[in-house]
Every structure is written in structure tokens, then in C-alpha cells.
Amino acid sequence: MPLMRNRHLWLTTALALSAALLVAACSSGGGATSKSTGGTVTFAETPGNTPNYISPMTSGAYYSVANTSEFSYAFYPGLYWFGDHGEPILNKTLSVAYVPVFSDHNTVATVTLKHWFWSNGHPITARDIIFWMNLLSASVDPSTPTIGSSSAPGPGWGAAVPGGFPQNVVSYTQTGTYTVRFKLNASYNPLWYTYNELSQINPIPQNAWDKLSASGPIGNYDMSAEARILAPASAGLPANSYLPANPGTATTGALAVAQFINSQSQDLSTYATNPLWKVVAGPFKLSQFTASGYVKMVPNKAYSGYPKPTISALVEEPFTSDAAEFNALRAGNLTIGYIPSQDLAQKVSLEKTQGYSFSPWYSYSDAYSLYNFTNPTVGPIFKQLYFRQAFQSLVNQPQYIKDFAGGFGTINNGPVPGYPSRNPDESPLEAKGQYYPFDPSKAASLLKDNGWTVNPGGVTVCGKPGTASGDCGSGIAANQALTFTMLYASGNTELTNEMEAMQSTMKSVLGLTLNLKTAPGSQVFSTTLNGCTFATPCTNWELADWGAAWVYSLDYLPTGGEIVATGAASNGGDYSNPTNDANIAATHTAPSQTAEIAALFKYQDYLVQQLPLVWMPNTPYLLTMYKSNLKGLLPQGVYEELYPQYYSFG
């Protein structure tokens, strides 16, 4: 069934579920064991994108696939799991809770947990959801414009959107051992609220994490009005001295706990030994970890879900470049790796000599480069629609797909994925041919018509400053040159080729200088998603590309709030447009399927034309090569998530 039909079939079924069905227990028991048939699966991480944060409460700076879908989700699965046999839909089997029930005109959502267990034998209860909600609510500050960034009081939240979850929750109440009732501040579309809001809940072990220091006792600190944290020895205070969690300000106990967990998550050297991380709910637990990104996880024998893991271990190997990974692949040292597009000619040889099979890994994602609209020097240029139109008109997506991606990929026109196949969520306008096709003449004309003295191959400058028709635009100085720095992820040959082609084209056609600068992907990510605002602008980057597309997780319905809403934590360049914000809001409250589709189409059609981001071609996440005797890999996770509990050798 098409994606939209699947989603709405689920919605209809969910609304019809009775309370009796939801409270029925489905338990594997705390003593459930995992029968291991052995074998280690070795998985290749992408260059420079290594896990460096383990708590599921992740700020924007750490909000990456490497930290979530390929790492912490194996230990701490969300309340609801999304991704079912390669489809971007709710997976009821792998979810920790039953499908939510909405009532009171969709202003109340009731969540009932299945009877699963933590690895230490404690049941996963509603108290663990309350614990998560207390910490999350304390960690995002509604008065802070960049919610979830480094300016937030706690660890922050990478999925935060102003006015969104948890701010749109009036109250959350434990109504039973396994049941929580959420009172909402408005009537919301149940599909959207489940896919994009309740999806942000991770039960976490209150019985093991509700503490203020590594040596401190477990308590109910998240419930207390105030709390203190033990002063470090470096503070020079008497033994057992305590400090406020935020020196000089009162703080809630929940905030103190959140800050403690955040501090532990940033201590990579203790990941494999810290008692916090030994209490898990997912199918695996961490066995070994290094700061370079090496990961070894082994089965959690107390996993309550199904299926139980059968492999002995999953090892994730870090690499600094595509070339280094390909050398390991050619040596047969990887169970799951990838073939760089420039090496596709060797695919057949790998299949014959090393026993590999080939499967492109398609994901529900959107590829783009970012503008830093807050940068005081170049931001005023980026704010001009004519400039963004000119820039987009020189991104030769068909060439990039053909020459750099081995022919795998599709044109990207806007914010809703249309890949790998026709997506009913994608509007007809976005789905048709390239809206801003490669057109050097148009790009040059757009600049000339708006006050720029275009010098192909040289330096183009603003010859007509001002805000009248035909002028360069507000904030652009006379003789200001079109010179920008593009920060992009290192180690990725396909991305490097795209950047170098773009650099050459921009210079020869527009006289635009694009200075290329590389850094590891995780560094590019943390640099761009670190709270840029117009009040506190980021001056350390101008244009950027992480080397990875935006995967629609935890906003599984692609309504865009996380990446383009004003003030959203993952809105890296701080794009802000009131019309766009209103369009996004309309997708949240649509009262019917027809209205929802119409709102989603209106939202994306506007951004197809407004170009808040530089749309880049959607290509496979990876061109996967895997050992032919590995079972359970296909279909690969549509949100770039891993399913090691399905793996076996045979």
C-alpha cells in the first residue's frame, strides 16, 4: 500500500482501539533470555561520523544518525519505533508502548506501555515516562529563542521547535502503573502528534539514572523543587560541598539530574564502564567503546521485545575516509560496508572474490547545504531570494548524480522526500522536474538585474547598493564581493567532487568565489547546529554541508518543523519566515486526511520556491556491500537505523 494510505490506515485503526485492548498486558518477563547462535557482524561507520553521545536526550550539536539510529537506539529505543520492513511507518511490534488513544476532540492522548523490563530486572513503567518528561521539560527553555541549543539551561533537545513538544503539553499524569495521560493545549491531528511529538519520548530508567552525581544515591530528584550537585574536587571546597546546578540561580531537581546525565554522556572514556549505561531496554548493550568511534555491542539477554538477538556482537568500525573503508572492504574485513561511487567498477570483483552482495541503502531523507542567515557579513546576501535562485540555478544535480553518484539518485526540489520512489506525501510541484534547473544564463541575469557587476571568472561585486528595485538589497555594502566559505565534511569523495564542481561553476559563471574548507562530519554538524540566532549570530561559518542528508527522525511525518521553523533547534542557519511558520502550523492541526494533505502540499510548494536551503541531489545513504551469508539485513532501515536483532549467519 502507498505510504500515505498506510499511515492513515494506521490512524483509523488507532482511533478505534478500545481502552480494554490497550491495557491488556503483553509481557516477555524480566527473565527473558537471548539465544545466541554466534558470529560477529562488523559495520562500517561513514568517514568522520562517529558516535560521541550516548544518552537519548540529545542536543542539536549531537543530533546525528551516528549517535541515534546507529548507536543509542540499540540501547534505549523510543516509546514508538518507526521503520517497518523498509517503510516509513510506525512499527507496532518494536514499540515499547501500544498505539496511543486520542480523546476529547484530540486534546488528550493516552499512552499505555507494554510490560517490558530494563536489563536490571526493573519493569519499564509510567514512572520512566514521567522521568523523561520532567528532564526534557527542564532542559528546554521556552524563553530561549534557540531552544535545544547550547544556550538552553540543560543538555537541550535537538528535536525542539518553539511551541512544540513538550511545550504543547499542558499536563502529563501517571494514571496507572503502565499508563500516562497527556493533556494537550489544542486539538491536534493524531497522526502528526504521534509521528512527530509522542515520537520524542524515550523511557529512561528512573531506578538507575535519577541521581545528582556518580557516587550519589538514587532518589526522586526529578520531582523535587530544588536540587544541588556535588562540587568537584577542582572547586577547592570542603569535602561533600554542594553547588547549585546553575551557579547563582535556583534550579529544579529535574534540571540537575539532566545536567548530570549530560555530563556523563560527554565523558566518552567511561562509556563501557559507567553503571548508567549498563541499564538498557533495547536488544543490545555496550561492551567496548573508544573515543575514535569504535563500538562493540553485545546482546541484552533481558530484552523483552522480539526478535531476540542471535549474533554474538555488532562491531562498528570508524574510518577517516572512503578510501580507508574501501581498503577494509576489499580485504573482506567488513560484514556490512559500502562501495564508494567512484569505485563501482570493482563491485563485481568484490562479489566474486569476497562473497559480497550489493544493495543501495535508500533512506527517507532530504539532502541540502545550509546558508547561515545570521552571519553579519554574508547573511544579508543569503536573505535575498534572487541570490538563492541564482545559486540554486548553478547546482547541476543531474551531472552530480551521473558523474559522482554512479547514476544512483534523484533530483531534489524541496523539503519532502520523493526518494527512492514516488511518495504520496510529495506535492505534484515538488515531484515534477527540477524547479530551478541548471541555467547559467538565468543565474547571471538574476544578479545583473539586482545591482551586481558580474565578472565571470573574476570577482563580482555589488555595484548598486540599496533597497530599491534593481538594487543589491538591505545590508549589502557597495563593492561587497561574492566571496563565501563552504565548510563541508571530509573523507567523502562524492561530496568533495560536488563541492569542487560547484566551486568551479560558481567562479566561471558568476565570478563567485567559493573557498572550500573541510572538517570531520561530526564537527561540521556541531558547528552548524550550535544555536545561531540573529541576536547571537554565528560568525565561524557561512555555507555548510554535513555530508549527510537530513533523515526525518524524530519528525517522522515530513512537516519541516525541526529544520525550517523559526527558532527550531536543528534549523542550523536560522531561516525565519512567518508564512512558512504558518504553513507548518497548519499541518499540525489539520482535522482530516484531505486537509492534512492539502496543508502538507502548501507547505512544501512554498519552500520549493523560497529556497531556504541549497537543495542537493538525493542519493543513497550508502551503496551497501554486505556478506552474502548475512541474513536479516534487507530491507535496510529507511531512517538509516540498524536492526542487529534481526541479523544471523546462514
What pLDDT is stored for residue 228 in this prediction?
A: 57
Angle formed by the axes of helices 493-510 and 397-404, nearest 10°: 140
112 or 567, which is more confident = 112
What pLDDT is stored for residue 242 in this prediction?
A: 53
The beta strands (E) that lie in 197-263 are given as 228-230, 242-244
Indicate the pLDDT class of residue 35, thresholds 50, 70 and 90: very low
What pLDDT is stored for residue 248 in this prediction?
A: 40
pLDDT tens for residues 234-290?
A: 666 666 555 554 444 445 788 889 999 999 999 999 999 999 999 999 999 999 999
CA distance 278 to 637: 26
DSSP letter assigned to residue 358? E
As a whole number, mean pLDDT of residues 298-323 equals: 97
Report whether pLDDT(155) > 50. yes
What pLDDT is stored for residue 402 in this prediction?
A: 96
Q: Rounded to 5, what percent of the chain is helix, strand, coil?
A: 30, 20, 50
What pLDDT is stored for residue 241 in this prediction?
A: 57
Contacts of 234 (CB under 8 A, 6+ apart): none
What pLDDT is stored for residue 139 in this prediction?
A: 82
Contacts of 67 (CB under 8 A, 6+ apart): 51, 52, 53, 54, 58
Instruction: Quickly tell me which residue has 568522520 as its cell.
Output: 48
* From-to residues of CATH 3.10.105.10 in the chain: 365-550
What pLDDT is stored for residue 530 in this prediction?
A: 81
CA distance 164 to 176: 26
Report whether pLDDT(225) > 80. no
The rounded percent of the chain whose pLDDT value lies above 90 is 77
Instruction: Quickly tell me which residue has 518494536 as its cell.
Output: 94
The beta strands (E) that lie in 282-367 are given as 284-289, 295-299, 313-317, 336-338, 356-361, 365-366
Report whether pLDDT(194) > 50. yes
The CA-based diameter of the chain, rounded to the nearest angstrom, is: 75
Report whether pLDDT(212) > 50. yes
CA distance 127 to 214: 21
What pLDDT is stored for residue 245 in this prediction?
A: 47
Considering the four listed CATH numbers 3.40.50.1100, 3.90.76.10, 1.10.10.10, 2.130.10.10, the one that applies to the domain covering 3-30+77-205 is 3.90.76.10
What pLDDT is stored for residue 151 in this prediction?
A: 45
Per-position b or e across 147-167, b if 16+ CB within 10 A of its CB: bbbebbbbbbbbbbbbbbbbe
Report whether pLDDT(504) > 70. yes
Coil, helix or strand at residue 52: coil
What pLDDT is stored for residue 153 in this prediction?
A: 58
As a whole number, mean pLDDT of residues 24-45 equals: 61
Report whether pLDDT(149) > 60. no
CA distance 43 to 41: 6
Indicate the pLDDT class of residue 10, thresholds 50, 70 and 90: very low
pLDDT tens for residues 119-145?
A: 999 999 999 999 999 899 888 755 443
What pLDDT is stored for residue 421 in this prediction?
A: 67
Name the CATH superfamily for 365-550: Dipeptide-binding Protein; Domain 3 (3.10.105.10)
CA 111, distance to chain mean position in Å, is 24
Task: Answer whether 448's CB lies under 8 Å from 438's CB.
Answer: no
Task: Answer whether 589's CB lies under 8 Å from 187's CB.
Answer: yes
* From-to residues of CATH 3.90.76.10 in the chain: 3-30+77-205
Average pLDDT of the chain, as a whole number: 89
As a whole number, mean pLDDT of residues 389-414 equals: 96
What pLDDT is stored for residue 593 in this prediction?
A: 85
pLDDT tens for residues 479-498?
A: 999 999 999 999 999 999 99
pLDDT tens for residues 17-26?
A: 333 333 333 3
As a whole number, mean pLDDT of residues 561-582 equals: 94
Report whether pLDDT(6) > 50. no
Task: Answer whether 513's CB lies under 8 Å from 483's CB.
Answer: yes
